[in-house]
Amino acid sequence: MLKTKFRSICAVATGLDVLGDKWSLIIIRNMLFLKKCTYKELMDNREKIATRVLADRLKKLVLDGLIEKNNHPTNKKVFIYTLTEKGISTIPLIMELMKFSMQHYPNQIKGKTVDKNRISYKLTHASSEQAFIKDAKKEYLKYKKTLPA
């Protein structure tokens, strides 16, 4: 698989060429906010990604420099996927998509119970958008340090 082929010099088109498919931001969201780092963990998601699609997107995200793939130190059959700085820098984009969805599709987003661990809850209760971004990055980097090296 090659790196992303870009359609034009348009910044919107370029961003969509890298992140505009149905799954890339979901995978990044799961890594960033749900602390999933192995293939098996990433397969376990409410959106039900197909195994072949997950494998393809992980390869693409690695080639585009958004995530890193490393061998597990004690199990050579398992790989650890982590976000790079470029991958972490998608937090504001994910936040803006969340805000758009919460504003325009509130009946789809709101759960029947309050879950303080939900990303949307954290966003709506953050002191500011910048605080949400800073906290999300800090939490992920702290989590990343706990992963096997």
Q: Could you report the per-residue pLDDT of 102-136, keeping only the tens digit for each?
A: 889 888 877 655 566 788 888 888 899 999 999 99
What pLDDT is stored for residue 102 in this prediction?
87
pLDDT at 116: 67
Q: Does 6 map to a domain?
A: no
pLDDT number for residue 96: 95
pTM (predicted TM-score): 0.91
The answer to whether residue 130 sits within a structural domain is yes
Q: Can you give the residue range of the structural domain that contains 55?
A: 11-145
Strands 67-71 and 79-83: antiparallel
**Does residue 3 lie within any of the structural domains?**
no
- Domain assignment present for 19: yes
Look at residue 2 in the predicted model and tell me its pLDDT. 54
Number of domains in the chain: 1
3-state helix, strand, coil split of the chain in percent (to 5) is 55, 5, 40
Residue ranges in the chain whose pLDDT is less than 70: 1-2, 111-116
Confirm whether 55 is domain-assigned. yes
CATH number of the domain where residue 138 is located: 1.10.10.10
Percent of the chain at pLDDT exceeding 90: 74
Residue 15 domain-assigned (yes or no): yes
Q: Is residue 141 part of a domain?
A: yes
Question: CA-CA distance, 115 to 113, in Å (whole number)?
Answer: 6
Per-residue confidence (pLDDT) for residue 113, from 0 to 100: 58
Provide the phi-psi class of 69: left if phi over 0, else alpha when psi is between -120 and 50, else beta.
Answer: beta
Side-chain half-sphere CA neighbours of 117 within 13 A: 5
> Which own/partner pairs from 136-141 qualify as long-range (CB within 8 Å, at least 24 positions apart)?
136/32, 136/33, 136/91, 137/88, 137/91, 140/31, 140/32, 140/35, 140/83, 140/88, 141/88
Q: Is residue 5 part of a domain?
A: no
